[in-house]
Amino acid sequence: MDDLSTIRSETLAAVAAAADARALDAARVAALGRNGRVTGLMKTLGTLPPEERKTFGQTVNALKDEIATALDARKAEIDRSALSARLEAERLDVSLPARPERMGTLHPIGQTIDEICAIFGEMGFVWAEGPDIEDDWHNFEALNFPPDHPARQMQDTFFLPPRADGVPMVLRTHTSPVQARTMLDNDVQKRLADGGSLRVIVPGRTFRTDSDQTHTPMFHQVEGLVIDRTTHMGHLKGCLTDFCRAFFEVEDLPLRFRPSYFPFTEPSAEVDIGCSWKGGELRIGAGDSWLEILGCGMVHPNVLRHCNIDPEIYQGFAFGMGIERVAMLKYGIPDLRTFFESDLRWLRHYGFSALDVPNLTGGLSR
Ligand code: 2NL
């Protein structure tokens, strides 16, 4: 058996020579482990004569403490130099170019709504919104839909369970209930009574039970409404002509107003814009073909009456268009259903930069 001073000097030398945590632990186990050399010394205690045991025990314990202190000190040194080595090796190069982040894009529906609202905003229209879930009165009754109108039958409309008061509820089939709510608004009523006017533009989601190549159960509309004491059909034509030319960015775009029918307007018209098909490709502008873009008309007196507006004093025009349809025409998107598939490749192709906010001075679209 080695003597105490040999064990001491060899152990302290091993601790001092340990280059890393693993070597240091090996030195600790060799001295203080269950089969370690210092532990071995302790085990000989019983073989000594009683008068030597106390001194020997104290000496071995002092050695244990000395080794433990040396282990701690060496451990701190190893940690410090490991940290220095890391700091030296893992230097941050702040001059490296930033890793590019992939930017999201705006959906063409939102972009098209923004464009349309920017154009009507220039003309003094204010934006309004309302609930997707409507009561039968705001969606149909107020808008002069007769009880036998096809939209009021099961096949076209998503009917919901009736409200607590028994009123039938629907997913709105158009955004018109928002205009009805706007006309009924106290501030608007007061403004009209004071000789002012109402000009409102209403974009939003609408719902019908259609689903095929050219119809999705949820789609988007923008409707507009103007009410005052003097607005007539000439204003309607001028307003919608200016709108179509600004939206499609064709200055001399020809328009055609065709007589039509809507329950909430009288007279009613559908608006076509001029176009041509060259080699299967659509060109918007003067040409020999027409494309239907929107519906419009003078607000029906029954609608005004339902909304507490006296048709003997006030009149106005209204219009509506499908967003998907005009977005497809403007941006050459061939398939309606792709709007709602959330395909990232499609969104990257047809999406718009979040920084490209449409406005008439900066150019509506780029
Ligand atoms: C279309 C045609 C239209 C209206 C919507 C309307 C709303 C009120 C009063 C009168 Cl509150 N009219 N809206 C009028 C004419 C046509 O939409 O083809 N939409 C996609």
CA of 302 to the centre of ligand 1 (A): 14
Q: Is 268 helix (H, G, I), strand (E, B) or coil?
A: strand
Mean pLDDT of 285-294: 94
pLDDT at 187 over 60: yes
pLDDT at 257 over 70: yes
Label the pairing between strands 126-127 and 198-207: parallel
Question: What pLDDT is attached to residue 353?
Answer: 87
- Indicate if ligand 1 lies below 6 Å from the C-beta of 204: no
Token pair in block for residue 53? 């045991």
Question: In the structure, what pLDDT confidence band is assigned to residue 155 with cuts at 50, 70 and 90?
Answer: low
Token pair in block for residue 306? 């339902």
341 contacts: CB under 8 Å, gap ≥ 6: none
Token pair in block for residue 338? 């792709």
Question: What pLDDT is attached to residue 362?
Answer: 66
Token pair in block for residue 261? 């029918």
pLDDT tens column, 98-118 = 888 888 899 999 999 999 999
Nearest 5°: the CA angle 211, 216, 221 is 140
pLDDT at 1 over 70: no
Residue 297 in contact with residue 235, Cβ under 8 Å? no
Q: Residue 349, by phi and psi: left (phi above 0), alpha (psi -120 to 50) or beta?
A: alpha
Residue 19 in contact with residue 38, Cβ under 8 Å? no
The C-alpha R_g of the chain, in whole angstroms, comes to 41
The H or E element spanning position 225 is: strand 218-228
Question: What pLDDT is attached to residue 9?
Answer: 92
Mean pLDDT of 210-218: 90
pLDDT tens column, 170-179 = 999 999 999 9
* Nearest-10 crossing angle of helices 108-122, 323-331: 100
CA of 287 to the centre of ligand 1 (A): 28
Mean pLDDT over each residue of the chain, to the nearest integer: 93
pLDDT at 339 over 90: yes
Query: In the chain, where does DSSP find H-type helix?
Result: 4-17, 21-32, 37-43, 50-89, 108-122, 136-139, 176-184, 186-193, 233-248, 301-306, 323-331, 344-350
CA atoms of 27 and 17, how far apart (whole Å): 9
- Indicate if ligand 1 lies below 6 Å from the C-beta of 178: no
pLDDT at 280 over 90: no
- Indicate if ligand 1 lies below 6 Å from the C-beta of 265: yes
pLDDT tens column, 2-16 = 688 899 999 999 999
Question: What pLDDT is attached to residue 320?
Answer: 98
CA of 299 to the centre of ligand 1 (A): 9
Mean pLDDT of 286-301: 96
- Indicate if ligand 1 lies below 6 Å from the C-beta of 296: yes
Nearest CA to ligand 1 atom 4: 319
CA atoms of 258 and 360, how far apart (whole Å): 29
Mean pLDDT of 284-299: 95
Question: What pLDDT is attached to residue 161?
Answer: 94
Question: What pLDDT is attached to residue 214?
Answer: 87
pLDDT at 366 over 60: no
pLDDT at 123 over 80: yes
Question: In the structure, what pLDDT confidence band is assigned to residue 206 with cuts at 50, 70 and 90?
Answer: very high
Q: Is 299 helix (H, G, I), strand (E, B) or coil?
A: strand
Residue 112 in contact with residue 330, Cβ under 8 Å? yes
Question: What pLDDT is attached to residue 191?
Answer: 98
Question: In the structure, what pLDDT confidence band is assigned to residue 363 with cuts at 50, 70 and 90?
Answer: low
Residue 340, burial from CB neighbour count under 10 angstroms (0-12, 13-18, 19+): middle
